[in-house]
Amino acid sequence: MKPFSVNQISQIIKGNIIYWDNNKYISSFVEEFVAPKSSCLYFLLYESINEDKLLQSLVKNNASGIVIRSHHKLNMQKWIDANIGIIEVDSVREAYLSSAKFYRFQFNIPFIQVVGSSGKTSTKDMIGYILNESIDTLVGAKNYNAPSGVAYNIFNLDDKHKAAVLEAGMKGLGIISLSSDIISPSIGVITCINSSHISNLGSMENIIKAKGEILDYLGEDSTLIINGEDENCKKLPLHKFKGKMLTFGFSDSNDIWASDIKYENFKTFFTANFNNMKLDCVINTFGKYYVLNSLAAIMVGITLGLSRCDIYRGLSKFNLPPARQELLVGINNSFIINDNFNGNPDSTKSLIMELPNISKDHPLILVMGDIEKDTASLEEYAVKSHFMLGEEISKLNFHRLIAVGKWAKHYIDGALNKGIDQEKLSYYKTVEDAQADIINSIIPGSIILFKAHSSYVDFQNLINKIKA
């Protein structure tokens, strides 16, 4: 990648150059909390830092300069004496995002953007595994899907990359617009739209509106790949989109659909059908929702011209990240399903509905924590959601249900409402209180599901104790 001049970048970010060594150029862009690189431009997003320590780090790593807000508290003479360039801007965050948008357009490659209420990270990773079989593809790190995370991922692009796949999340209206403006996708993927983030947006109408912001950034020559089974996806303002739209699902009314779905040893086998093509597939996890995500990823591969062999090989290499349906071996020859990363009522219901497909003759123990935050404004919604999930759990043939957290007691209420024996149910306020009961409930050959949003109830330390 050809380096950039300070004048070029200062115009992009609408900055005022306070000091710059004309012998220095800019070859990379780094935000706070990321280690400085040689010839980088460092964006100081927050000022609660040790100034001397930061300055030493930038000098040591041969950074070119720093971007700071106009009304800063730094000692400028220190930085000038250290020969670190200084650019002042009104908003460092806006400057960082503007730089990412500029940097993205240095690459004339396919950009795939994944949005949705759930399944973004797994779908992004599946696409990455598939494309990397034949195309050197940048895959966004972890679940870095806020605009600043999108920018971070964009800045990891280099000349070797021939495609990029990134996810974009949101916690309010206008956020996906910010990310989409940076990414300028050639292919958009919408996994599903459900009640996740309803606490931030207040209604399904607003959630649909927020997810639909990606449509404003897809041109006539772009492709939109959308969940044909999702009723909320059908409520998107799809008339705004003038490009090619493809759907995925379980019926042949979709452009690509799955058939012959089977489960074995916590894996899923299915056939993907597209036009006259049939492709037998395997994914290293279970659940029809992951089959849907796979179909979206396969369609991206088909759109970009990958072979059947590349698609099969890439998808078969996909593995979920830790704490997302992570399969572990536990004490007493048990199996642990660690799904303690995040969750919402819709995705949790989908997981519960899949458990009979994998539990079979194994005793099933459900350790369920809160999946909604503890706020008074959410009480009615949280109580109802956890109660309804308790009713859903009552349909299972399970050994124990152990609920942990503030809202989790309503799992118990829902199960009792459907006639489940009280002896199979326990409720605790904290993981520490529940620990002994959970451990004592593990009989040989059990499958133990740990499900919660880790920000509200974190089972990880307990899971570590019961791993074999």
What CATH number has the domain bearing residue 243?
Answer: 3.40.1190.10
**Between vectors from CA 427 to CA 423 and to CA 428, what angle results, nearest 5°?**
140
- Tell me the three state secondary structure of residue 69: strand
CB 143 within 8 A of CB 62: no
Q: What is the DSSP letter of 467?
A: B
My answer on whether 148 and 277 are in the same domain is yes
With vertex at residue 129, the alpha carbon angle to CA 245 and CA 161, rounded to the nearest 5 degrees, is: 85
Helix axes 92-104, 175-183, angle to 10 degrees: 40
Q: Which of 264, 292, 316 is the last residue of a domain?
A: 316
At 18-49, the pLDDT tens digits run 999 999 999 999 998 788 999 999 999 887 78
**Do β-strands 65-69 and 163-167 pair in parallel, antiparallel, or remain unpaired?**
unpaired
With beta carbons less than 8 A apart as the criterion, state whether 175 and 186 touch.
no
Q: Which residues contact 234 (CB under 8 A, 6 or more apart)?
A: none
Same domain, 174 and 307: yes
Length of the chain in terms of residues written = 468
Are residues 180 and 302 both part of a single domain?
Answer: yes
Q: In total, how many domains does the chain have?
A: 3
Instruction: Assess contact for 415 and 391: CB atoms under 8 A.
Output: yes
Residue 210 shares a structural domain with residue 351? no
The answer to whether position 1 is within a domain reads no
CATH number for position 70: 3.40.1390.20
Region of residue 461 (phi > 0: left; psi between -120 and 50: alpha; otherwise: beta): alpha
Examine the fold and report which residue of 316, 335, 351 is the final residue of a domain before the chain moves on.
316
Reference 184, options 221, 139, 158; nearest CA is 221
* Distance between CA atoms of residues 24 and 83, nearest Å: 10
Q: What pLDDT is attached to residue 48?
A: 73
**Position 321 in a domain:** no
d(CA 151, CA 183): 9
SS3 226: strand
Clarify whether residues 180 and 44 are in a common domain.
no
Could you tell me if 408 and 286 lie in one domain? no
Q: Which domain holds residue 261?
A: 107-316
Dihedral sign (CA 6, 7, 13, 18): positive
Local mean pLDDT, 10-residue blocks, the chain (468 residues): 94 97 96 90 88 94 96 91 97 97 98 96 98 98 96 97 98 96 98 88 93 97 98 95 97 98 96 95 97 98 97 97 95 97 92 95 97 89 96 98 98 98 98 98 97 96 96
What are 114's strand-pairing partners?
A: 167, 189
Query: Do 256 and 301 reside in the same domain of the chain?
Result: yes
Q: Within this chain, do residues 207 and 236 fall inside the same structural domain, yes or no? A: yes
Using an 8 Å Cβ cutoff, are 261 and 239 in contact?
A: no
291 and 398 belong to one structural domain: no
Global pTM?
0.95
Q: Which of 260, 288, 316 is the last residue of a domain?
A: 316
**CA dist., res. 411 & res. 313, Å (int):** 40
181 shares its domain with 303: yes
Residue type, 160: K
CATH number at residue 415: 3.90.190.20
pLDDT, position 32: 81
Domain identity same for 151 and 288: yes
Residues 305 and 384 grouped into a single domain? no
Query: Tell me, what amino acid is at 140?
Result: G
* Whole-number Å distance between alpha carbons of 389 and 345: 7
